[in-house]
Amino acid sequence: MMIGNILLNVLFGLIGFVLTFLVTLGNNLLMTSLIRGFFGFILWFMLAFVLRWVLGFIFKESLDPNDSQSSLEENSEALGSTLDISTPDEDEELKNLLKPQPGQGSGSELGFKPLQPPKLVSLKDPEELAKAVRHLKEE
């Protein structure tokens, strides 16, 4: 929502044209001052659009404080009172996980056995490795 009409934009544009034209007229030719004044008109015209939009946004919020207060009160009462979350039904899968599978014991017979990964051991001759490092170091 914007405040005012296009006439306000044209008025701002004309103010920008006159200011730019008068400032540049003393140091430039007439044609250069007119061109710069035209660019000033366009810039001020666009700035008026932005200003109207911002003011319209601000005044739209504060025009009717009774409506906004009542809507805020209604929203604050309902805030947090409902929860709209639904999850897929996985009851059967959970029941199957809790039941012991046939062929498996309770697991207490085996006890805890830590993981023992294989050690990384080089099977190359140390002299060959030193020779390869020397060769790479030279280049």
* Distance (Å, whole) CA 6 – CA 48: 9
* Distance (Å, whole) CA 14 – CA 7: 10
pLDDT tens per residue across span 13-32: 999 999 999 999 999 999 99
Query: What residue spans define the domains of the chain?
Result: 6-62
Give the 3-state secondary structure of residue 109.
coil
Q: Is the pTM of this model over 0.75?
A: no
Length of the chain (residues)? 139
pLDDT tens per residue across span 87-129: 777 788 877 877 877 765 555 556 788 888 877 776 778 888 8
